[in-house]
């Protein structure tokens, strides 16, 4: 589904990713872990097409198509979803208008008619329940005045609305209390299927207790330096990242 080969990327001329390789197949859940500044968020931003980042080398194909040639909106239509670490507040744009515009552009890409008002409301209601998002929040401006936990739940709500093939969740667990963490993880698990895949980017093991990835990767200094099964995450939790640095001869 997703194939990243030798990906190099920079921001403001500073190279952050220095040759990332990763393959993700349908139905798989991957976790990318690593210390601060390793390039985890850069990787997710580059995959979603944030124009602030420049790709200098390498290639990324998504279902056989060249992902890097697509603008962010087309990546979304093709089935990429990025759950933001810091969801953006957009005063004046209501959640309803935002989601209706997004859903309709997805439908247009597939050659479908715009969604009817009643179907849209039904869809909103149904998907809100996935993450127990209050109706009041759905009627407000995008993320405006939402608490940290509400913002993250809102990300998963949008994911539920758009039904992506590949969801990249960037530190979705940061700033969440234990209840919110449970709700968000349950939401992600409910949306999991044989056809879609998830990449979870996280600092900590605790999210992985709920969302159980089969593959763990350690990103360090812009490269994936170690990959393994769930046991790798436990080892990182116990021993930190220093032993990996030692293995690398630092």
Partner 1 sequence: MTVVKQYTDLYQQAKGLIDKHSAHILNENREAAYTLLKATGLPSTSCQDYAHTDLHAMFAPDYGLNLNRVEIPVNPYEVFSCDVPNLSTNLYFLVNDSFYSKQGPAKNQEEDIFIGSLIDFAAKYPLIAGKYYNKQAGKRQDGTVAMNTMFAQDGFVLYVPKGKVLEKPVQLINYMVSETDLMVNRRILIILEENTEAKLLVCDHALNDANYLINQVAEIFIAENARFDYYELEENTRKTNKVSSTFLNQKANSNAVVNGVSLTNGVTRNNIFVTFKGEGAENHLSGIVIADGNQKVDNFTNIDHAVPHCHSNELFKYVLNDEAECAFAGRIHVRQGADKTEAYQSNKNLCATDTVKMFTRPELEIYADDVKCSHGATVGQLDQQALFYLRSRGISEQEARLLLMYAFSADVLEMIRLEPLKERLRMLIEKRFKGELSRCRGCAIHGNAPSEC
CB closer to partner 1, 90 vs 234: 90
Q: Report the nearest approach of partner 1 to the CB of residue 142 (Å).
A: 8
Give yes or no for residue 111 binding partner 1 (CB under 8 A): no
Contact map string, positions 190 to 229, toward partner 1, x by CB under 8 A: ----------------------------------------
CB closer to partner 1, 184 vs 208: 184
Tokens representing 115 are 């969604």
Q: Which of 10, 21, 61, 141 binds partner 1 (CB under 8 A)?
A: 141
Residues 6+ apart with CB under 8 A from 171: 40, 41, 85, 201, 202, 203
Give the up-direction half-sphere exposure of residue 159: CA atoms within 13 A in the CB hemisphere.
32
- Kind and range of the H or E run holding 101: helix 95-109
Give the number of other CB atoms < 10 A from CB of residue 239.
10
Q: Which of 93, 96, 115, 225 binds partner 1 (CB under 8 A)?
A: 93
Q: Which of 55, 96, 102, 225 binds partner 1 (CB under 8 A)?
A: 102
Give the up-direction half-sphere exposure of residue 37: CA atoms within 13 A in the CB hemisphere.
2
Residues 6+ apart with CB under 8 A from 68: 55, 59, 60
Q: Which of 19, 26, 35, 72 binds partner 1 (CB under 8 A)?
A: 72
Q: Which of 10, 50, 61, 174 binds partner 1 (CB under 8 A)?
A: 50
Query: Rounded to 10 degrees, what is the CA torsion of 174, 180, 182, 183?
Result: -120
Q: Which of 73, 126, 195, 209 binds partner 1 (CB under 8 A)?
A: 73
Give yes or no for residue 112 binding partner 1 (CB under 8 A): no
Distance from CA of residue 192 to its chain's centroid? Answer: 13
Q: Under the rule (CB under 8 A), what is the footprint of partner 1?
A: 48-52, 71-73, 75-77, 81-82, 84, 87-88, 90-93, 97-98, 101-102, 105-106, 109, 141-142, 158, 162
């Amino acid at each position: 589904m997703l194939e990243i080969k030798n990906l190099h990327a920079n921001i403001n001329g500073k190279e952050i990713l220095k040759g990332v390789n990763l393959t993700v197949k349908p139905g798989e859940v991957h976790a990318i872990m690593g210390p601060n500044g390793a390039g985890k968020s850069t990787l997710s931003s580059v995959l979603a097409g944030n124009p602030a980042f420049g790709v200098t080398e390498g290639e990324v194909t998504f279902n056989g198509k060249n992902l890097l040639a697509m603008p962010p909106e087309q990546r979304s239509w093709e089935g990429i979803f990025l759950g933001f670490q810091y969801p953006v507040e957009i005063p004046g744009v209501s959640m309803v208008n935002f989601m209706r515009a997004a859903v309709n552009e997805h439908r247009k890409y597939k050659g479908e008619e715009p969604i009817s008002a009643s179907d849209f409301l039904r869809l909103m209601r149904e998907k809100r329940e996935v993450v127990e998002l209050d109706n009041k929040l759905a009627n407000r401006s995008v993320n405006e005045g939402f608490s940290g936990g509400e913002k993250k739940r809102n990300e998963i709500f949008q994911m539920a609305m758009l039904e992506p093939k590949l969801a990249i969740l960037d530190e979705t667990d940061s700033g969440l209390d234990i209840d919110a963490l449970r709700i968000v993880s349950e939401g992600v698990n409910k949306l999991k299927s044989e056809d879609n895949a998830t990449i979870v980017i996280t600092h900590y093991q605790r999210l992985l207790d709920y969302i159980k990835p089969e593959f763990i990767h350690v990103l360090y200094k812009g490269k994936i330096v170690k990959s393994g099964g769930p046991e790798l995450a436990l080892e990182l939790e116990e021993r930190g990242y220093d032993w990996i640095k030692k293995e690398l001869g630092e």
